[in-house]
Structure 1
Amino acid sequence: MTSSANEKSQPQPTLGLREAVAIIVGIVIGAGIFKAPSLVAQFTGSPGWMLAAWVAGGLISFIGALCYAELAAAWPHAGGDYHFLHRAYGRRVSFLFAWARFSVITTGSIALLAFVFGDYMTALLSLGSYSSAIWGALAVLALTWINARGIHASASTQSWLTLAEVLGLVLIVVAGLWLWLGAGASPPPAPVVAEAAASGTPMSMLGLAMVFVLLTYGGWNEAAYLSAELRGSRRSMLHALGISLALITVLYLAVNLAYLYGLGIQGMAKSEAVAADLLRVAFGRTGETMISIAVAVAALTSINATMIVGSRTNFAVGRDWPALHALGRWHPERGVPAAALYAQSAFALVLVVFGGSLRGGFQVMVDYTAPVFWTFFFLSSIALIVLRVREPQTPRPFKVPLYPVLPLFFASVCLYMLWSSLAYVKAGALAGVGVLVVGGVLLWILERRPARDAVTSP
């Protein structure tokens, strides 16, 4: 095989800054911003503390982004976290991470978002008893087809979906301004705040509120999987992350101010669907239909972005483990890891079918994702310190300021989130441990297979 052919069989720098920002924003802004604000309002109990929590979420996410920007600038790789964990801790830890992403984190997120899409599409057009699962499966199949066509097709789709998603949030802001200026119907009487929020001080409840705030901000770290495909200097990832998080933080604050003006802090705290309640107050039943479409688009946006970055981890595993070499094939013309993408979508469809067959399947998948996610997020943040010590001579186009204070601070946040996940999601924690045990068994089997020629990572 020629050198040119070898280069085409691995990721190439084809993504611009605008496309990278669209993918990051699309991953982060999902269904969370349409649900979490009511819980944050309940746990904080006051407008000031509520808004402070959302600002803190943006700052914490930016500190984490600084850590990832250093790692991605020093070691740009389609494997993202997988590659960083591999360099810092070895192939066993990185394999367990890849297994966790494939079986829980990425495919679970795709399935969850597919159900969100299905729920809101069912409100517009029901397809029968299993309408939500059917709509969700159709979304997974359609977006898999788009991603399989090539990185330009998926990135272009992401740009348009992200634009539509942001316009949906702008609609919420407009509704809040509409009510604030005295137009529209009068807001309903504000109900009494939940007892937990009323009896607790803001500081005592702020930690629990941050669980939901950071969940809503989650996903920006997925940008690391695009580091090998981003054009420009190695500092481009820092620019993409910085612009994305600044935009997301401003949007989140504007949306929460709209909720606050339209419903009040107590109305937010008691709302089951805060966005739908706001638009119903502002625009009636038409508003509810509009927000249903907006949430469905938000879910599609996050599914597409998650597919783009998730398949890169499976590709990296296939390059490192000969027994899984089929996953490590890069389609040179389309610029996608086709086999890794198909495997990911197939497993996500299995989860959609499984979740559709059980009551509460959506909640179960939400539960067991969190502990696994924060465990490896913590290990990735510590990997920056490990690699600073182990590979001091590696060129670092960008270095985290105030090292090691900021990396240690972010690692402590990850530990707190892990503890919160284990404390409040006990059933999910057991399921997460079970998944990692299965991954350990698979690792044991792979390590005992007859040695073959290894495929070198790009």
Structure 2
Amino acid sequence: MAEHASSFKPSLGLVDATMVVAGSMIGSGIFIVTSDITKDVGSAGWMIAVWLITGFMTIVAAVSYGELSGMYPKAGGQYVYLREAFNPLAGFLYGWSFFAVIQTATIAAVAVAFSRFTSYLIPEVGEDVILLTLGKLKISAAQVLAIFLIIFLTYTNTRGIKGGKIIQTIFTSVKLFSLFGLILLGFLLVKHSFWSENWATGMNAMHFTKDAAATAPDGGSWLPISGIALIGALASAMSGSIFSSDSWNNVTFIAGEIKNPKRNIGLSLFLGTLIVTIIYVTANLMYLNVLPLHDIAFAPSRRLAVISANAIFGSDGAYVIAIMIMISTFGCNNGLILAGARVYYTMAKDGLFFKQTGVLNKNAVPEFALWIQCGMASILCLSGSYGDLLDMISFVVVLFYALTILGIFILRKKRPDAERPYKAFGYPVLPIIYIILALTFCIFLIKMKPTYAGIGLGIVLTGVPLYYLAVRTKKTA
């Protein structure tokens, strides 16, 4: 007969929690997405503005979540906050979207990025190496490697929180030091600086448009943008920066395994998001120093960090940076996999998800929840490109962030006397600004990129009938 633990074991301190925040945030995005951001906005000033706006939104959201995590220091995080602020349906829609797209598609995108940079060292596992063709579906060696990575990390995390904690701390520490080193050396060692040339573009926003009649070697032209079109371009650009800055809330999902959660979750959210925001902004300043704007926009296969390393260290540096990015994505996916299953566990305890996901194994982790997450993420590895996954994830995740922060206002009225070890910084002004920015982003993203943003919205809405089906099943059980 299988052994089962009765509850989670609090074994993560403040440093561990901060490593989960930072490690889950820093995956593949910072090394890739600036290429597409530059195509969308076309100037140094607006490129950095995209990262500053995203950083502001991320830190405001994180410190706002500090209030909620102090009120509800239990496994499940955002699912619990939405359930308590609104109703069980709101919580379920988040949990369903989390399983169907938010967490699983993020795991898939990061795993695909791991494969992309592994293929720089081992070409046989590249995206162009097709192993199997099933009608229109082509399965590449990179997709297979991504799936194997997800399976391996899932298995590791079924062995208990301790192993996942060790992997997270080691890999996050390595990538933080490596990124800081790369940024510093990008200013000290580069032979030719493009700083002045790039900043001459100032805040003159330009959009790269494909043009069959254009004579430009890249088959298109740069066109000036302003007004409403600029807001749309920023929304399009921010789908990448928001994806890169997402998953900071993963630490709230494992609240049941954190020591002194009322203090440490809120503090780790602030420290982790602040560290990562500083790294992201300075990394993009480094890109502007070592590469011309055109090369940033058109980095081959979006391997922006690799060509930056070539400019800093020569050809050998590219191999070093590829290994560094493999370490980064490996550690990021470990954090995502570790934290995500705790949401399904809490949903199952509410009778709104598969009953088996609410059971802990002998190592005090929700093993079945980990494996179904693994299955969904593996399926998503086979669908869409990296950029498509970004658009789908970014729309859904920002929509739920806005709703959750709106929940702070609702809970202040519903539960005015509840214990709040932290209070949302800048309340009510900063949370309101966040909600406005978030909804503006969602509206313009679905206008600019309707296909995958629309798919994301559709996935959320399919949760409505699923909720009532789950409630009926619960009543008849």
Same fold, TM-score > 0.5, yes or no:
yes
The match for 1:260 is 288
Q: Deviations over 1:132-165 (max 9, x none)?
A: 0121111011101111111110011011111222
- 1:229 pairs with one of 257, 266, 269: 257
Q: Name which of structure 1's ranges 111-120 and 36-45 shifts more when overlaid on structure 2.
A: 36-45
Secondary structure (helix, strand or coil) at the match of 2:262 reads coil
Per the alignment, do residues 367 and 61 of structure 1 end up closer, same or farther by CA in structure 2, a change over 3 Å counting? closer
Give how far 1:383 is off: 0.8
Q: 2:242–2:394: 8 Å Cα contact kept in structure 1?
A: no
Per the alignment, do residues 54 and 366 of structure 1 end up closer, same or farther by CA in structure 2, a change over 3 Å counting? closer
Give how far 1:102 is off: 0.6
Per the alignment, do residues 17 and 452 of structure 1 end up closer, same or farther by CA in structure 2, a change over 3 Å counting? farther
- Provide the C-alpha distance between the structure 1 equivalents of 2:37 and 2:391, rounded to a whole number of angstroms: 18
- Asked if 1:396 is matched to 2:420, the reply is yes
Alignment of 1:142-153 (within 5 A): 142-153=152-163
- Provide the C-alpha distance between the structure 2 equivalents of 1:233 and 1:348, rounded to a whole number of angstroms: 29
- Provide the C-alpha distance between the structure 1 equivalents of 2:240 and 2:151, rounded to a whole number of angstroms: 30
The match for 2:114 is 117
The match for 2:365 is 336
The match for 1:247 is 275
Alignment of 1:265-280 (within 5 A): 265-271=293-299, 272-280=302-310
Q: Deviations over 1:176-228 (max 9, x none)?
A: 13434x4xx788xx899865566236994683444433332222122221333
Per the alignment, do residues 133 and 213 of structure 1 end up closer, same or farther by CA in structure 2, a change over 3 Å counting? closer
Q: Name which of structure 1's ranges 362-371 and 86-95 shifts more when overlaid on structure 2.
A: 362-371
- 2:321 pairs with one of 265, 287, 291: 291
Q: Deviations over 1:399-457 (max 9, x none)?
A: 1233222221111122122113211221113322332343223223222226267xxxx
The match for 2:356 is 326
- Provide the C-alpha distance between the structure 1 equivalents of 2:105 and 2:333, rounded to a whole number of angstroms: 11
Alignment of 1:6-405 (within 5 A): 9-125=6-122, 126-127=124-125, 128-129=129-130, 130-180=140-190, 182=191, 196=208, 199-200=224-225, 204=230, 207-208=234-235, 209-232=237-260, 234-271=262-299, 272-321=302-351, 324-331=354-361, 333-352=362-381, 354-355=382-383, 360-405=384-429
Q: Name which of structure 1's ranges 37-46 and 24-33 shifts more when overlaid on structure 2.
A: 37-46
AA in 1 matched with 2:357? L
- Provide the C-alpha distance between the structure 1 equivalents of 2:18 and 2:227, rounded to a whole number of angstroms: 34
Q: Compute the TM-score of the two structures, normalised by the length of structure 2.
A: 0.84
- Provide the C-alpha distance between the structure 2 equivalents of 1:94 and 1:186, rounded to a whole number of angstroms: 50
Q: 2:73–2:261: 8 Å Cα contact kept in structure 1?
A: no
Per the alignment, do residues 157 and 72 of structure 1 end up closer, same or farther by CA in structure 2, a change over 3 Å counting? same
Secondary structure (helix, strand or coil) at the match of 2:74 reads coil
Give how far 1:90 is off: 1.3
Give how far 1:322 is off: 6.5
Q: Name which of structure 1's ranges 379-388 and 204-213 shifts more when overlaid on structure 2.
A: 204-213
AA in 2 matched with 1:60? M
Secondary structure (helix, strand or coil) at the match of 1:449 reads helix
Q: 1:368–1:425: 8 Å Cα contact kept in structure 2?
A: no
Give how far 1:73 is off: 0.5
* Runs of 4 or more consecutive aligned structure 1 residues displaced over 6 Å after TM superposition: 190-193
Q: 2:20–2:250: 8 Å Cα contact kept in structure 1?
A: no
Q: Deviations over 1:255-300 (max 9, x none)?
A: 1222121114454344343211111122232122222222222221
The match for 1:447 is 471
- Provide the C-alpha distance between the structure 2 equivalents of 1:344 and 1:147, rounded to a whole number of angstroms: 12
Secondary structure (helix, strand or coil) at the match of 1:58 reads helix
AA in 2 matched with 1:85? L
- Provide the C-alpha distance between the structure 2 equivalents of 1:201 and 1:424, rounded to a whole number of angstroms: 15
Per the alignment, do residues 346 and 389 of structure 1 end up closer, same or farther by CA in structure 2, a change over 3 Å counting? same
AA in 1 matched with 2:465? V
- Provide the C-alpha distance between the structure 1 equivalents of 2:295 and 2:386, rounded to a whole number of angstroms: 26
Per the alignment, do residues 375 and 60 of structure 1 end up closer, same or farther by CA in structure 2, a change over 3 Å counting? closer
Give how far 1:313 is off: 0.7
Secondary structure (helix, strand or coil) at the match of 1:105 reads helix
Per the alignment, do residues 146 and 258 of structure 1 end up closer, same or farther by CA in structure 2, a change over 3 Å counting? same
- Provide the C-alpha distance between the structure 2 equivalents of 1:379 and 1:87, rounded to a whole number of angstroms: 12
Q: 1:211–1:420: 8 Å Cα contact kept in structure 2?
A: no
Secondary structure (helix, strand or coil) at the match of 1:214 reads helix
Secondary structure (helix, strand or coil) at the match of 2:291 reads helix
Q: Deviations over 1:314-340 (max 9, x none)?
A: 001110017622111123x42311111
Q: Deviations over 1:226-254 (max 9, x none)?
A: 33322136122222112112211222233
Give how far 1:49 is off: 4.5
CA RMSD of aligned residues (A): 2.9
Q: Name which of structure 1's ranges 65-74 and 122-131 shifts more when overlaid on structure 2.
A: 122-131
- Provide the C-alpha distance between the structure 1 equivalents of 2:353 and 2:274, rounded to a whole number of angstroms: 42
AA in 1 matched with 2:308? L
Give how far 1:364 is off: 3.6
Q: 2:402–2:435: 8 Å Cα contact kept in structure 1?
A: yes
**Residue segments in structure 2 that go unaligned for 5+ positions in a row:** 131-139, 209-221
Q: 2:344–2:358: 8 Å Cα contact kept in structure 1?
A: yes
Secondary structure (helix, strand or coil) at the match of 2:323 reads helix
AA in 2 matched with 1:218? D
Give how far 1:51 is off: 3.5
Q: Deviations over 1:378-414 (max 9, x none)?
A: 2111111111111112111111233222221111122
Q: 1:111–1:349: 8 Å Cα contact kept in structure 2?
A: yes
The match for 1:456 is none
Per the alignment, do residues 239 and 323 of structure 1 end up closer, same or farther by CA in structure 2, a change over 3 Å counting? closer
- Provide the C-alpha distance between the structure 2 equivalents of 1:88 and 1:140, rounded to a whole number of angstroms: 33
**Residue segments in structure 1 that go unaligned for 5+ positions in a row:** 454-458
Aligned positions, number: 439
